[in-house]
Amino acid sequence: MARRTENKPSRGVQKMAMLGCTSRGSLIGSGTQPDKAMESRIQRVREAFASGRSRPLRFRLQQLEALRRMVQEREKDILGAIAADLCKSELNAYSQELITILGELDLVLENLPEWVTAKPAKKNLLTMLDEVYVQPEPLGVVLIIGAWNYPFVITMQPLIGAIAAGNAVIIKPSELCEKTAKVLAELLPQYLDQDLYVVINGGVQETTELLKQRFDHILYTGSTAVGKIIMEAAAKHLTPVTLELGGKSPCYVDRDCDLDVACRRIAWGKYMNCGQTCIAPDYVLCEPSLQNDIVQKIKETVKEFYGENIKESPDYERIINLRHFKRIQSLLEGQKIAFGGETDEATRYIAPTVLTDVDPQTKVMQEEIFGPILPIVPVRDADEAIKFINNREKPLAFYVFSRNDKLIRRMIDSTSSGGVTANDVIMHFTLSSLPFGGVGSSGMGAYHGKHSFDTFSHQRPCLLKSLKREGANKLRYPPNSQSKVNWAKFFILKRFNRGKLGLLFLAVLGVMVAVLLKRSGHNPRGPSVERAEYSRPVAVWLMVPDRFRKCANLWFKSLRVGVPGWLSRLNV
């Protein structure tokens, strides 16, 4: 009798199951055998992309317009889903998510015709008569894995860029925001091409199966631990990835700053969405003398923002689930709580909290907090703060508050992070003109605005030559010689732009006139002036570097046109 074998989950699935749920994003693992049903779904999307209908500019604009209509017409459905998933007021959901998407759509719709246009590239002498340009083209079928902390904007913003670049897209929302994921699955097919843009909902197993498939790009937002698994799965197909991860984003408060303003802005960024923001200030670095003042001012600000009874404030959210609640609660153990610290497991409430005199070796300083706890770590000065930051993994964001512009520049130049905001927090995320992404363990690649379009595009170099002028190609055909090498240096190493092509035309015209004058014997300036002086091609000398002027001299001599001594010695 054959022995019964047990189907065991892959090591990746087992590892992620032990983690329970990532700090952001979906639970995933990498198995071995792809699911045929999932494979078939992805293949249908790939066939839709192969049809070519996602490429025309007009189609892309139509899809983006449809996406804007969806946000405007189904605003209540979207806001209701976000509010239900995150205990978030509809006003907060609109200001934190929908307004960003509408702004991104306006930007892309306005600028996409320019972005898709081929850009001319510089030429050398060998290609001066050819057409040379860089043409953005879509990558193919891309996978976007969203996160739960901002389930709409983090999923939709990269989708806008992928559509703008002409790709087909598989969208995987976070299963932790069930209502938002369901709304996306219902609404997107009503407004977008159903074959090119497909939503796949589900948990660990579905995402695991997705990662077995071949994609042309993967963009993932979530934890560093899961980001590594994403990258490992992508490597099997040589798929490029954009990873927006996280980390501990430091905030340095200089003694020379407006503490009232600084603490108000820090409190806003830290406690927004109950601290569940990837670029929230994770901890504060300051001189010991500032610590008590910062605590007091943040305490006053929290009261100003959320009232006496924070639990009842419609502007203060809750922790996403019980597992995260217990993880964040455990970070308070053994810490000096300056204010806050109240918790309610039944409602997953954790009050805005500040910790003082925090030991850098304690647990709260060893992992991304991703909750409403703000540790303050005293440092002697800015130099010690720089050293403290540089001794840790590169963060997703860095914040510095100071009136001293030189200090701000020095701290920026002396550290590394995904992004920087001075005298505020989080606001660099709101600018679509700035790339958003991490560095090192906080991520790789970037998106937002034009940067999203570039991320999801291949910059295709194009050189269009004629079948004529074959004589010029003899330089590269065998047999080789030193003379050919010398000419190749001149023709290939010399770059051209349109302005210099005009100078070249004038130079050639000048030489031709000089030759004609020499042959005709015409000299309107009299016999005292050498006819050769009419051959002064100053434009050529402006274009030819020193190392090639011998070649230029030979060229002129071959035309029997002399080069005046004063010109050959001219240093231009």
- Active centre residues (catalytic): 244
Q: Which residue has the tokens 């796949």?
A: 200
- Structural tokens at position 311: 């639990």
- DSSP code per residue over 214-270: --SEEEEES-HHHHHHHHHHHHTTT--EEEE-----EEEE-SSS-HHHHHHHHHHHH
Separation between Cα atoms, residue 81 and residue 155, nearest integer Å = 14
- The 10 Å CB-count burial string (b at 16+, else e) for 95-112 is ebbbebbbebbebbbeeb
Separation between Cα atoms, residue 563 and residue 248, nearest integer Å = 67
Coil, helix or strand for 449? Answer: coil
Compute the C-alpha angle 410/412/414, nearest 5°: 65
- Structural tokens at position 225: 């631990």
Q: Which residue has the tokens 């097919």?
A: 189
- The 10 Å CB-count burial string (b at 16+, else e) for 502-537 is ebbeebeebbeebeebbeeeeeeeeeeeebbebbbb
Separation between Cα atoms, residue 315 and residue 91, nearest integer Å = 9
Burial class (CB in 10 A: 0-12, 13-18, 19+), 293: middle
Residue of 376, 160, 341, 96 whose CA lies nearest to 259: 376
Prior bond to 372 cis, omega within 30?
no
In sign, the C-alpha dihedral spanning 58, 59, 60, 64 is positive
Paired strand residues for 496: 123
Separation between Cα atoms, residue 16 and residue 21, nearest integer Å = 7
Amino acid code (one letter) for 66: A
**Cβ–Cβ < 8 Å for 370, 276:** yes
In sign, the C-alpha dihedral spanning 158, 160, 161, 167 is positive
Total number of residues shown for the chain: 572
Q: Which residues contact 545 (CB under 8 A, 6 or more apart)?
A: 494
